Structure 1
């Protein structure tokens, strides 16, 4: 399997397509930013807590974008981040500080969805999900960096939401992305899949883990497979990646050749791990496995790694 094989299967990969021009060189242009925010075409994602406001439209379609005035009817508009522009105009994300257990009570046609619901639901165009990942990741970063990690002073947002500074000590804080390796170990016509206790019943997936400081992608792939399943591995092939805004990761998809086959499951990480034949994996993907076993849904990179390998 090659990266091109993976690319052929990944059209439904959640959060991976972002049509916005981020215009990073205009983030510190105050005049441009003021004009963009005041534009009649300006639109924003409205995030309440950890959920995003979704407007339900006709024919089963849903919309993520609101005008600032409309978003302000839900609650106080807090942290704002400039996401970029496209043919429709400037795009932003804003944290809405809404009161009450149900801030959308009485508002017909509006719902609060977590990001997995949005990606899995299918009513929001896949072309909008990359901007959603960008906006939600940035707002989560702001929520966790209100105070300086150096001196403890309160930080302030600047550069259109893409930097925080500490007035007390002068430290500058920038958003971060946490890299995660997710990989399929292969032994001839078999692949290794595992499951965690939190997975839906019967679902098996690729193994995954965070890339550590000072570690290559290849070493992280081999280490994680060895730690979680006791399998020694050799050559690693990069396939593709997926933004994963929970809160702000990048899933790095790989294929790796197994150099041993005896499984030793780390029960702290996995509930089970086993080898699956190619035909068995195809049955899992098609929903016809005799034991009811399944693979992750198409929004997840694990689905496309397995699908590309299974052919």
Structure 2
């Protein structure tokens, strides 16, 4: 088993990019790692069934030099979670995280995700089984509650159960999940945010490393949370406006590196795409994660159109990315002249 890596992983949790289904795959993480060296990146949620009964290598594959990446698993059977963790031992994950926050119907039918907020002892058993299968940190990502739960009593009970099981850190999405009546998309915006409840939990469990998630749309909002929490987790803001990640190392980790330029990122991704295409990857599977890179710049609309339309054409190669870059460079050159 891999030896524990407490210091680097604890430091990296100061800023993490949330696990997002269909988004934070290895191509997305390749892009994000170009922008931030220090932040903790996450896989998509991967179900234990996919790992244990499916193609584990495909689901667990990491690119070289991805840095610190957390594997998020979805499941509720302690034995199957332990088996998935053991299969992940062959890969260089920095921590293993259990999803107790996803509210989708598919996840509920599999009895994992946010519905497990109602079963803290089962989650504790899952954490114990996962920890017994690895020396890597085991963490949990949860909501503040579900449906009609009293978020004061139920969240404390849940947190105390996973702490007793030896959880290494807790990520808390500062919203309830409504499992009845709201779609997963609505669950990201309609339940009100309650940062104060998460702050109170952190104050009560001061020795447990705890990160906050939910509704953090800017780095300024995230920085304000550092007065109360050990770290912050951004999801859609980081995905849709990825260039903000270029400021993370300086603002959250004291780095002195200048934020990477759009040109340097696009050229690096073009090189990456060329290597991936040679292995059978389709260009659009990479380019789809890059649509927000030019947000706010003249030519951004054409940039997005080139990446979203031309990258899907037969035979599309990395030159598509270079043409997209030209779409935002031309207005600058015209201004300069």
TM-score scaled to structure 2, two decimals? 0.24
Indicate the structure whose relative CO is greater, using CA pairs within 8 Å and at least 6 residues apart. 1
Bigger strand share: 1
TM-score scaled to structure 1, two decimals? 0.26
| Largest Rg, 1 or 2 | 1
Bigger helix share: 2
